[in-house]
Amino acid sequence: MNGLYTNQLLGSSLMLTRRLSGLGAGGRTWFVSSISRSFARSSIMAKSKFEYVRSFETDDTCLRNCYIVVRLDGRNFHRFSEQHAFTKPNDDRALGLMTRSARSVMEELEDIVIAYGQSDEFSFVFKRSSTWFKRRASKLMTHVASQFSSSYVFYWKEFFGEQPLLCPPSFDGRVVLYPSNRNLRDYLCWRQADCHINNLYNTVFWALIQKGGLTTAQADDRLKGTLASDKNEILFSEFDINYNNESAVHRKGTSLVWEKKDETVTKHMKLPNVEEKEVRVTRSRRRVEALHCDLIGEQFWEEHPDILEEEETC
């Protein structure tokens, strides 16, 4: 059917060309105008006939006056990390690549006021008053996910050098709304607490394997039912490791925030009747900065008051 339709279309086009060549300038103008009007009428009719399919789309506009959080999680990243021989318990190359990809997302979508990441996940917080993509959840989530995934591939060599990327990384996403400053702060505290719990477990687990000579099954069995204090005791008494001295990026995760930085540049200026001279100019620019600090206490929020918006009072 497609081939028959194409041949008919080509034949009609050829006939139209012959007719036009046989007409004078005025005749050609009239003929083309007539064809254009007919085509326009047909387009309008077709649009009105088929446009009803738009009614199947779901309205996923995010509620106003709420912070929009898009959280990405690596899909099958346990297998992905094994295929690429990630260092255990933490691979600084992989963490650096995650942060670089998240920075790319923030630089693309400036309404993101803070992003927090640990392991194979990153959360992006859009300011409460954001109108990006008309606050459509699907648009926000897919744009964040696609920008992050493509950046992960694009910057791979910057962190892993000549080690090849053996399979494409995959991230799933979700959108959650938080109506108050306290809700948002508690969400970020929850993710940082999760970072601490997971990293403490992984630090002890891999110490038991790499330094204690246990198998993965034996290490897992050894840690069943243990509390944080028990894990700290194992690290200190058996491996002389003080968990508090471990890298902050591993214990606290990574927070990306906008900060204004003054930078001085040299410009060459030339005025009439004056020799060209160098002038040093200082200007302020907003840049994404990576921090590895506590989000649960008050200090971070006091130092970054622009993240949270004032709440309306009745």
CA nearest to 205, candidates 248, 225, 235? 235
Do the annotations mark residue 48 as ligand-binding?
A: no
pLDDT at 29: 55
Q: Residue 175: how many CB atoms within 10 A of its CB?
A: 17
Do the annotations mark residue 221 as ligand-binding?
A: no
pLDDT at 280: 73
pLDDT at 254: 98
pLDDT at 284: 77
Do the annotations mark residue 74 as ligand-binding?
A: yes
pLDDT at 281: 72
Do the annotations mark residue 76 as ligand-binding?
A: yes
Token representation of residue 63 = 């509620």
Do the annotations mark residue 119 as ligand-binding?
A: yes
Per-residue pLDDT tens over the stretch 249-299: 999 999 999 998 877 667 777 666 667 777 777 777 889 999 999 999 999
Do the annotations mark residue 75 as ligand-binding?
A: yes
Write a three-state SS string for the chain: CHHHHHHHHHHHHHHHHHHHHHCCHHHHHHHHHHHHHHHHHHHHHHHHHHHHHHHHCCCCECCCCCEEEEEEEECCHHHHHHHCCCCCCCCHHHHHHHHHHHHHHHHHCCCEEEEEEECCEEEEEECCCCCHHHHEHHHHHHHHHHHHHHHHHHCHHHHHCCCCCCCCCCEEEEEEEECCHHHHHHHHHHHHHHHHHHHHHHHHHHHHHHCCCCCHHHHHHHHCCCCHHHHHHHHHHHHCCCHHHCCHHHHHCEEEEEEEEEEEEEEEECCCCCCCEEEEEEEEEEEEEEECCCCCCCHHHHHCCCCCCCCCCC
Do the annotations mark residue 120 as ligand-binding?
A: yes
pTM: 0.80
CA nearest to 124, candidates 139, 114, 111? 114
Strand order in the sheet with 67-74: 171-178, 67-74, 121-126, 112-118, 254-269, 277-291
Give, in order, the Cα–Cα distances in Å from 87 to each of 147, 202, 213, 216.
26, 12, 17, 15
Q: Which residue positions in the chain have pLDDT lower than 50? A: 1-6, 8-10, 13-14, 16-17, 20, 30-32
